[in-house]
Amino acid sequence: GHVHLADYRAPAWRVSLAELEFELDPAATVVAARLHLSPDADQPGQPLELDGEGLELLSISVDGQSLPAGRFVYDGHRLTVHGLSGDCELATRVRIHPENNTRLEGLYRSGSLLLTQCEAQGFRRITFMADRPDVMPRWRIVLRANREAFPVLLANGNPLASQDLGDGRHEATWENPHPTPAYLFAIAAGPLERVSRQLRTAEGRDVEINVWAEPSDVPRCQYALGAVERALRWDEKRFGRCYDLDVFNVVAAQDFTMGAMENKGLNIFNARYILADEATATDADFLAIESVVAHEYLHNWSGNRVTLRDWFQLSLKEGLTVFRDTEFSADLHSRALKRIEVVRLLRARQFAEDAGALAHPVRPARYKEISNFYTLTIYEKGAEIIRVLHTLVGEETFRAGMDRYFAENDGKAATLEDFIDAHAQASGRDLSGFARWYAQAGTPTVSIAADFDEASGDYTLTIDQATPPTPGQPDKQPLVIPLRYVLYDAQGAVISAAPEADAPVRDGLVELSQARHVLRWRGLRGKPLPAFNQGFAAPVKLQFDYGVDELARLARLERDAFNRWDLIQQLASEALLGDADAEAATGALSDALADLLADAGADPAFVAECLALPDFDTLAEQVAEVDVQGLVGRREELLDRLAEDQVERLQSRYESLAAAAREGLSGQAMSARALRNACLSWLTRLDPEARLARAQFDAGGTMTERIVALRCLLHFRAPGAESALAAFREAHATDPLVTDKWIGLVATRPHPEALDDVRGLMASTWWKPANPNRVRALVGSLARSNPLAFHRRDGGGYQLVASQVAALDPVNPQVAARLLGAFESWRRWASPQRDQAREALVSLQGRLQSPDGRDLLERLLD
């Protein structure tokens, strides 16, 4: 059945202190737990109910007295204890088996390490607990293990003591003094080594930061260590938040289902978001590492100090923390480029989610399996809603609202209402209309019609908003949308006069809140040219009927860099999807790109973003029915044509940026490499011999340069591609992260036959179904980033992915469920694909055992 938001009840029992002792062993670990319990004064006489999933119960006692069999029931999921009243101590001992834990939830083995992942409901696989975020004990954790196999023993909080036990074992005691829910519990044990840094917080606390990895990976931890320090300093400066323990530990794990986890004082990461040097990581990897490290660090306040009342509030920590980490990256690097990156992801993936079978509000009203709600909607749209609030109230008032939120909710389990209340108080605004963003699924469309009266010079914008129906939500209400606008006159100057309006207007920003608003300017000298949604201040689709000439003119006029990029994207969409004016749009796009390539003053990385046309997912999202082969074919044709138009300029930028590209990890060097690589990709289209790509591959250089050269060789099937691949494969054979890179290139070769290569790899020793990164690199890349192979006309792509979902469901249900999500838009695929997709999904019915898989399949077929 479903869990409903409306059914929330406070816990009947509180846990003030959790004392845990682990006898760590991969085959069989014994966990002794002592929970200090007190009944909720408002709900006396309730039985104690604790979560516990598949635990082998060895002993149970209360206040030192062993419990007789009649006083408790354990059904494999839940432990119920009767006849307790008043404060008491429950002691249990259980046995668990980390080595057999392939789902990577709870305590599991990764190589020679023992690690945990508890969010959302993994702690119950370790020992009995009220495994819900509003139960927040303080913690004391003792770890015992063989010293040789597990020389390092880490847990949440501060290290308290350690000792040798004389029999080959040793012991470490940790104390986490902050009230912390079980989903933030963590331990890590094994032959870990570290890089380390001492610093003093703005409040004067001395902190040791450690980044831990298996010994051979330690040299690649330096960059992540620096990123921790940058995040810590930034949160002090921008939000006034300091770190609150004596140590901050970070551990890199090769087997990890998600990106990373913000456990109190002991963040555990997928190794791909920690390990980096120039020989093995791309520039994009470095930036992703910095942003994920910051994300997890920033959770220490937005998530840990202030946690969640229940899982319906998930976006309260995730949306807010994504907002914070994107601000961090924008402050440290280029704000415009960060915005472009975020909006690309939003349009390609979140808009599709919001329009597909799995659409749900940022705060869902019900769920069956919470693991299925770690979505782009909760994270990315959640962050966009915070940005809407930030735009409505401005930075200073936003900061005051955040200060208030942290002060009022510190040490508590909060709700989105608590967050909105704090901002309402700080801003003096009624935010009840704004709150609707959290309840309503679907991407709003803002359609704007313009009318100019030549005689009077009156210019009228009629602005309509509408949100389409989504599963379970047929009717939608208008939202509060801050819409920026600019009017340009015939000379390209900004018209500064404010309009008459039936909505609040200030400084080029109108606050929409009704289905329709009208803005009117009186007595303009000529028909103006409007531009909207500068900086993408609201996550909406904007419709305005521009002519191609107007788009082209605006792409030159707009002051806002994000919008200049967006106008070029619109020209490209028009060239690909427009009927009548496709040819005109292609010409205008080509001219605009020529100007950009010739502009030595423009940031090369920005030019590279403009050369990157909307991807398949973004285009597919804009059409009613998706003709996959047609869409990909048109996109390839357009790219060929543009490359031909620009060939000299591409060559000259490629050469002129060579020296700048050699300057290590500086922003300028990264920017130069970004444009050089974009030029290389386009130039390779025109040269069947792929000479430039081969030269770049052979020259060595950074991973950024090698991997793009290899992609060009493989994807354009150049002579020598196979030998280059073999050389790359051998050079990195012992590195699973770099191996994932070439596997991803093979799986995304834009050709239906890539499916056969994927099958081949699945029959090889490279296939490691228990390793989530490998599954994503091979099957995830096929399903999410190779339209021609996934949507192959014979239905083979769907069959392969569906059979992998079935095979992985018992191994790692979360990984399997993620793959299944690739079918979210299946109802919009043109036949025969739609029927083949339905067939593949129907073939899974009755074959999935996990709640994750069953819930998704049901929603997909509903």
Q: In this complex, which beta carbon is closest to ligand ARG, that of residue 318 or of residue 511?
A: 318
For residues 715 and 686, what is the distance between their CA atoms, to the nearest angstrom?
Answer: 13
Choose, by CB under 6 A, the member of 296, 511, 609, 824 that binds ligand ARG.
Answer: 296
Please give the span between the terminal C-alpha atoms of the chain, in angstroms, as a whole number: 16
Burial state string for 21-51 with b = 16 or more CB within 10 A and e = fewer than 16: bbbbbbeebbbbbbbbbebeeeeeeeebebb
In the complex, the smallest distance separating the C-beta of residue 605 from ligand ARG, rounded to whole angstroms, is 27
Compare residues 311 and 742 and give the one whose CB is closer to Zn ion. Answer: 311
Question: Which of Zn ion, ligand ARG, none does 119 bind, CB closer than 5 to 8 A by kind?
Answer: ligand ARG
Separation of alpha carbons 235 and 240, rounded Å: 6
Site for ligand ARG in 479-498 (CB under 6 A): none
Based on CB atoms, which residue is closest to ligand ARG, 288 or 461? 288
Contact (CB, 8 A) for 809 and 102: no
User: Distance between CA 213 and CA 244 in Å, rounded?
Assistant: 24
For 30, the token pair is 């014994």
Smallest gap, in angstroms, from Cβ of residue 644 to ligand ARG? 44
Q: Which does 812 bind (CB under 5 to 8 A by kind): Zn ion, ligand ARG, none?
A: none
Number of residues that bind ligand ARG (CB under 6 A): 11
Long-range contacts: 715-722, Cβ < 8 Å, 24+? 715/745, 715/748, 715/749, 715/750, 716/684, 716/685, 716/688, 716/690, 717/749, 717/751, 718/684, 718/688, 718/689, 718/690, 718/693, 718/694, 719/689, 719/690, 720/690, 720/694, 721/690
**309 alpha-carbon distance from chain centroid:** 22
> SS3 for 300?
coil
Q: Least distance from C-beta 260 to ligand ARG, angstroms? A: 5
Closest CB to Zn ion among 259 and 468? 259
Task: For strands 78-81 and 48-51, give the pairing.
Answer: antiparallel
Active site residue 296: yes
Tell me which residues in 39-58 interact with ligand ARG (CB under 6 A). Answer: none
Of ligand ARG, Zn ion, none, which one does residue 565 interact with (CB within 5 to 8 Å by kind)?
none
Residue 103: name its binding partner from Zn ion, ligand ARG, none (Cβ under 5 to 8 Å by kind).
Answer: none
3-state SS string for 497-512: CCCEECCCEECCEEEE
Using CA of residue 490, residue 491, residue 492, residue 493, what is the dihedral sign?
Answer: negative
Choice among 296, 511, 558, 705 that is catalytic: 296
Give me the 310-349 binding string for ligand ARG, x by CB under 6 A, dash otherwise. --------x-------------------------------
Give the footprint of ligand ARG on residues 105-124 (CB under 6 A).
119-120
The minimum distance between CB 121 and ligand ARG, in angstroms, equals: 8
Q: How far is the CB of 188 from ligand ARG (least distance, A)?
A: 16
Between 26 and 772, whose beta carbon lies closer to ligand ARG? 772
Contacts with Zn ion in 283-342 (CB under 5 A)? 318, 321
Least distance CB 224 / Zn ion (angstroms):
17
DSSP 779: I
User: For Zn ion, which is the closer residue by CB, 382 or 796?
Assistant: 382
Q: In the window 360-399, what residues touch ligand ARG (CB under 6 A)?
A: 371, 374
Residues 6 or more apart whose CB falls under 8 angstroms from that of 401 comprise 389, 393, 422, 423, 425, 426, 427
Choose the contact partner of 260 out of Zn ion, ligand ARG, none; CB within 5 to 8 A by kind: ligand ARG
Tokens 């799986």 found at: 747
Q: Which is nearer to Zn ion, 239 or 826 (CB)?
A: 239
Choose between 171 and 318: whose C-beta lies nearer to Zn ion.
318
Which of residues 298 and 657 has its CB atom nearest to ligand ARG in the complex? 298
CA 244 to chain centre: 26
258 binds, among Zn ion, ligand ARG, none (CB under 5 to 8 A by kind): ligand ARG
Element (H, E) at 141: strand 138-146
Site for ligand ARG in 248-267 (CB under 6 A): 258, 260-262
CB-closest chain residue to ligand ARG: 374
Report how far residue 848's alpha carbon sits from residue 368's, in angstroms, rounded to the nearest whole number.
Answer: 15
Q: Is 324 exposed, middle or buried (0-12, 13-18, 19+ CB in 10 A)?
A: buried
Is the distance from CB of 465 to CB of 481 less than 8 angstroms? yes
Q: Tokens 């005109």 label which residue?
A: 584
Q: Kindly give the residue spans of alpha helices, DSSP state H, lying in 152-254.
A: 222-239
Residues between 262 and 291 with contacts to ligand ARG, criterion CB under 6 A: 262
Taking the C-alpha atoms of residue 21 and residue 252, their distance in angstroms, rounded to an integer, is: 24
Nearest-angstrom CA–CA distance, 852 and 816? 8
757 φ, ψ (degrees, to nearest 5) = -65, -40
In whole angstroms, how close is the CB of 358 to ligand ARG at the nearest point?
15
Question: How many whole angstroms separate alpha carbon 156 and alpha carbon 138?
Answer: 10
Is there a contact between 180 and 112 (Cβ–Cβ < 8 Å)?
A: no
- The least distance separating Zn ion from the CB of residue 241, rounded to whole angstroms, comes to 16
Least spacing, CB of residue 119 vs ligand ARG, in Å = 4
Nearer to ligand ARG, 371 or 569 (CB): 371
CB 260 within 8 A of CB 296: yes
Residue whose CB is less far from ligand ARG, 316 or 572 = 316
* Diameter over CA atoms, the chain: 97
Least Å distance, CB 379 to ligand ARG, is 7
Distance CA 169, CA 188 (A): 16
Q: Which of 536, 554, 577, 486 is nearest to 344 (CA)?
A: 536
Closest CB to ligand ARG among residues 377, 465: 377
State in angstroms the smallest separation of the CB of 299 from Zn ion.
Answer: 6
Residue type, 742: W
Alpha-carbon distance of 380 to 366, in angstroms, equals 20
* Cβ at position 298, least distance to Zn ion in Å: 9
Min dist CB 293 to Zn ion, Å, is 12
What CA–CA distance (Å, rounded) separates 445 from 619?
A: 16
CB nearer to ligand ARG: pick between 285 and 621: 285
Q: Which residues are catalytic?
A: 296
Residue ranges binding ligand ARG (CB under 6 A): 119-120, 258, 260-262, 295-296, 318, 371, 374
Residue ranges binding Zn ion (CB under 5 A): 318, 321
